[in-house]
Amino acid sequence: MSSTYDTIGLPRTVAPVRTIGFFERFRVVFRKWREHRKVHATLSGLSDWELQDIGTTRSEIDYVASHRDTDPRGIPSGE
């Protein structure tokens, strides 16, 4: 294990942990909430035929908006 030295010359073997402040956490949560509402509103505006075409139903809109990175059928995304 290598040691780094502090500004006053004392050895330090661990890196400082960056803590996330209240406002940073609030900003992240608020951004995710806005994205969820935007996806939810967009999907709610589609017709039942359009929802069926993308493989979901009106009852799954809330789940899809909340879990945009996962597929409820377990099919991996094409990323």
Q: What does the domain layout of the chain look like in residue ranges?
A: 21-72
Task: Give the mean pLDDT per block of 10 residues along the chain (79 residues).
Answer: 59 66 90 92 94 90 82 61
What's the pLDDT score for residue 6?
Answer: 57
**Which residues is 12 bridged to in the sheet?**
4
CA atoms within 13 A on the CB side of 22: 0
Q: Which two tokens stand for residue 8?
A: 């006053």
- The amino acid that residue 12 corresponds to is R
What's the pLDDT score for residue 10?
Answer: 63
- The amino acid that residue 2 corresponds to is S
